[in-house]
């Protein structure tokens, strides 16, 4: 029924299956939307946040999706600026994932603030000294860039592309993509960094505070670095999951391996830098404020030193070691483990830099603060996941997201009824060409 919309040369599941999937995931989405409306209309009392946990699950989710969404800027950077051509096979999907992550982040922020209707004050009454201002500006701008990067893909939908205006628009946008990729990389560098800065500048919180260069604490650079390292891993992870679900190979191994290798090296260097940072913090910064490393990891029911080991060693050095070795990258299971660990690692890092920051007592006469999110928080956090699944499903079905797909999954006989007059005829060739984002 919807075959006219499906890209040429690929096979998709029956429409009813697709609709069923959308309905199931849509139900989850609606649950999240309900929780979101509760938060907007009744206020943040719907959450379990409190005056000690001003930042909680949402801000973690925000930082985490932005970190894993970092695959978009970094892959774009490699593809357009460093000319890693091979990555053209995965760049569309990286952009799509990035778009989902960033739109989710903005949505979460809109729910998270106490006065959503005044959210724009952050732009109108901007305080240039605030890391959050930097985050807001770069995030919004970069979201704009991602939208621009995503639009040509939409325009490549078979039906839309038939409209000459859109056809040309898409074409022209492709031409300029390097400029946007560069802008995006620049913006991304700053907002990933400023998200790190959000915690790092808190000089009242010895657990979070880091020294740095000029106005940028080390966490600024570490956040960018870790997003660049782990974002692509997440892109690969989602690609692998998509391949598993669709039971198709969608991206050439060469593209995956190249991205995995670069990620591996980024992750290794990041882990070394993170270790050095932790070392300096534990031996110089924190003691100067009267605290020892173990003060931050004891006397509470959750946060033990295990979390540091898990984050840096198990989710840092271990996946890095797998990814930088050819054998590791080529072994499917090892690759799966590495990209999963790397993704978990960056999420733990963001958790620690948001939630543990809130949990550690600073006044000597306070004790650890523990918190468990309310269902409204959980629902609204799952909301973007559902939204992401739906957007991926739709995009995958109707847009030429994976340029390698027809090549990797050749269709023997094209059903006759799908044949339609296509004009102009040049389009035909283009259909089979990898889409460029």
Q: Which residues of the shown chain bind another protein in the complex (CB under 8 A)?
A: 43-45, 49-55, 112-122, 124-127, 129-133, 136, 163, 165-166, 198, 201-206, 285, 287-292, 295, 357-358, 362-366, 369
Gyration radius from the chain CA atoms: 23
3-class secondary-structure state, position 82? coil
Collect contacts of 213-216 with beta carbons under 8 A, ≥24 apart: 215/129
Please provide the distance, in angstroms rounded to a whole number, between the alpha carbons at the two ends of the chain. 28
Closer residue to another protein in complex, CB, 250/354: 354
Residues shown for the chain:
437
The continuous run of DSSP H or E covering 279 comes out as: helix 253-280
CB 245 to another protein: min, Å: 32
The continuous run of DSSP H or E covering 62 comes out as: helix 57-68
Please tell me the distance from the alpha carbon of residue 43 to that of residue 23, in angstroms, as a whole number.
Answer: 29
CB 380 to another protein: min, Å: 16
Closer residue to another protein in complex, CB, 45/332: 45
Closer residue to another protein in complex, CB, 91/108: 108
CB 294 to another protein: min, Å: 11
Please tell me the distance from the alpha carbon of residue 225 to that of residue 236, in angstroms, as a whole number.
Answer: 17
- CB of 235 closer than 8 Å to CB of 310: no
CB 47 to another protein: min, Å: 8
Closer residue to another protein in complex, CB, 295/407: 295
Closer residue to another protein in complex, CB, 58/270: 58
Label residue 416 exposed, middle or buried (CB < 10 Å: 0-12, 13-18, 19+): exposed
CB 156 to another protein: min, Å: 16
CB 206 to another protein: min, Å: 7
CB 410 to another protein: min, Å: 32
CB 316 to another protein: min, Å: 25
Closer residue to another protein in complex, CB, 44/94: 44
- CB of 354 closer than 8 Å to CB of 199: yes
- CA-closest candidate to residue 69, choices 139, 165, 8: 139
Closer residue to another protein in complex, CB, 53/396: 53
Phi, psi for 243 (deg, rounded to 5): -60, -40
Closer residue to another protein in complex, CB, 35/136: 136
The Cα-based distances of 159 to 3, 4, 232, 423 in angstroms read 11, 7, 31, 11
Please tell me the distance from the alpha carbon of residue 436 to that of residue 387, in angstroms, as a whole number.
Answer: 24
Closer residue to another protein in complex, CB, 268/359: 359
Number of H helices, E strands in the chain: 18, 2
Please tell me the distance from the alpha carbon of residue 437 to that of residue 419, in angstroms, as a whole number.
Answer: 27
CB 202 to another protein: min, Å: 5
Closer residue to another protein in complex, CB, 270/296: 296
The continuous run of DSSP H or E covering 68 comes out as: helix 57-68
CB 44 to another protein: min, Å: 6
């Amino acid at each position: 029924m919807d075959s006219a919309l499906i890209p040429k040369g690929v096979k998709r599941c029956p429409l009813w299956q697709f609709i069923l999937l959308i309905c199931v995931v849509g139900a989850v989405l609606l649950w999240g939307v309900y929780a979101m409306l509760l938060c907007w209309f009744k206020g943040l009392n719907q959450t379990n946040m409190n005056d000690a946990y001003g930042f909680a699950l949402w801000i973690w989710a925000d930082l985490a999706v932005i970190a894993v969404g970092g695959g978009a800027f970094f892959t774009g950077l490699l593809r357009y600026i460093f000319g890693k051509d091979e990555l053209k096979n995965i760049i569309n999907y990286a952009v799509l994932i990035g778009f989902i992550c960033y739109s989710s982040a903005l949505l979460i922020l809109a729910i998270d603030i106490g006065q959503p209707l005044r959210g724009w004050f952050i732009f109108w009454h901007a305080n240039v000294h605030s890391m959050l201002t930097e985050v807001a500006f770069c995030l919004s701008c970069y979201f704009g860039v991602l939208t621009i990067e995503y639009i040509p893909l939409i325009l490549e939908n078979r039906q839309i592309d038939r409209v000459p205006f859109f056809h040309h628009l898409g074409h022209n946008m492709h031409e300029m993509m390097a400029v946007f990729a560069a802008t995006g990389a620049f913006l991304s560098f700053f907002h990933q960094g400023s998200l790190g800065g959000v915690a790092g500048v808190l000089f009242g919180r010895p657990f979070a505070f880091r020294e740095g260069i000029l106005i940028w604490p080390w966490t600024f650079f570490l956040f960018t670095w870790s997003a660049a390292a782990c974002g692509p891993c997440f892109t690969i992870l989602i690609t692998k999951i998509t391949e598993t679900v669709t039971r198709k190979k969608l991206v050439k191994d060469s593209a995956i391996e190249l991205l995995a290798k670069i990620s591996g090296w980024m992750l290794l260097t990041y882990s070394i830098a993170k270790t050095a940072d932790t070392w300096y913090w534990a031996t110089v910064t924190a003691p100067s404020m009267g605290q020892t490393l173990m003060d931050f990891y004891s006397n509470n029911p959750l946060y033990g030193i295990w979390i540091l080991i898990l984050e840096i060693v198990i989710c840092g050095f271990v996946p890095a070691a797998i990814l930088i070795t050819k054998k590791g990258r080529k072994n499917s299971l090892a690759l799966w483990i590495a990209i999963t660990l790397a993704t978990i690692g960056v999420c733990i890092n963001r958790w620690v830099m948001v939630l543990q920051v809130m949990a550690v007592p600073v006044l000597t006469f306070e004790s650890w603060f523990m918190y468990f999110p309310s269902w409204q928080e959980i629902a609204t956090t799952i909301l973007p996941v559902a939204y992401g699944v739906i957007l991926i499903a739709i995009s995958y079905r109707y847009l030429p997201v994976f340029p390698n797909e027809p090549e990797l999954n050749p269709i023997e006989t094209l059903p006759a009824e799908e044949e339609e007059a296509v004009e102009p005829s040049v389009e035909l060739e283009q259909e089979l060409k990898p889409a460029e984002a």
